[in-house]
Amino acid sequence: MNYYQHHIGDFRAGTFTMGRLERWLYRDMMDMYYDTEKPLPLDHEMVFYTLGTTDEQERTAVERLLKFKFQKTTEGYVHERCDSEIRAFHDKAEKASAAGKASAASRTTKKPTDVEQGGNVGSTDVQRPSTNHKPLTNNHKNKTLSAQSPDAPRDTGEQGDDEDKERRKQRRSTPEDEACARWLFGRILANNPGHKPPSFEAWSEDVRLMRERDRRTHREICELFSWAQDDEFWKANVLSPSKLREKWDQLTIKRGTPQKGTKHGNFSAQDYRAGVSADGKF
């Protein structure tokens, strides 16, 4: 495919923990995925060569992205969001093609005559407009408009897209709330790589509640959750934003008395980058 929609808000929410180099390489890797419509090769050297990564820093960043943002399978490194966009692209192309063929067949099988239009056979007023003529639809406008074009009219029958838009309208959480929720999940993965991905919509709402009702900042939320994940007891008992909110006061008191073997100190930008989520989405 030579065209896909780039959702700026989703991309920023899924990459806010990355540095500029990782964000740039991540976009290149997705372009490579869309261009070939295939999973990225399991051979890292082939990925390096295709992306043009030459120095060690870039190669390390690519390997990190393959680990955290793609899922390794026998066919290669797959990306759920890319696969979804590719399927939607082909579905839309097939619907547009079917609609075009149906419209052409309809025009071929039915050509109104002067008698059907209510006129006299011998009438010379051949330019008189037909009262039975149906209004033009989008299918009549430009038959050369490709389904691959970004300007092609959307199929209003795509119920899934409408439902997705409606859910987005009803959501009160922000992209930053979702990014924070995804960071929290990335912190859990640091302790348990096989942890089941949660509902990020629900997690984002819990983050929003802490931010709006409890007056917590995203930084404070991440700091306290990070501390809990470093504590031998709390890392198994605080595994969601809702539980963090419920135990906030207890954790805050406990955090004030550092225990042996736990990390306690200022939360740095490096800590943020260490928690890049690995759910395979933005």
- Quick: pLDDT tens for 101-129: 888 887 777 655 544 555 444 444 445 55
Distance CA 47, CA 76 (A): 11
CA 230 to chain centre: 30
Q: What is the pLDDT of residue 170?
A: 62
**Beta partners for 78?**
71
Helix (H, G, I), strand (E, B) or coil at 149: coil
The tens digit of pLDDT for each residue in 131-155 reads 555 555 555 444 444 444 444 444 4
Q: What is the pLDDT of residue 139?
A: 52
Share of the chain above pLDDT 90, in %: 38
Say how many Å lie between the first and final Cα of the chain, rounded. Answer: 20
pLDDT band at 247 (very low <50, low <70, confident <90, very high): very high
Distance CA 21, CA 37 (A): 24
pLDDT of 221 > 90? The answer is yes
Q: Where are the domains of the chain?
A: 8-78, 175-273
Rounded to an integer, the average pLDDT of 268-272 is: 45
Average pLDDT, the chain: 77
pLDDT of 224 > 90? The answer is yes
pLDDT of 53 > 70? The answer is yes
Distance CA 279, CA 189 (A): 10
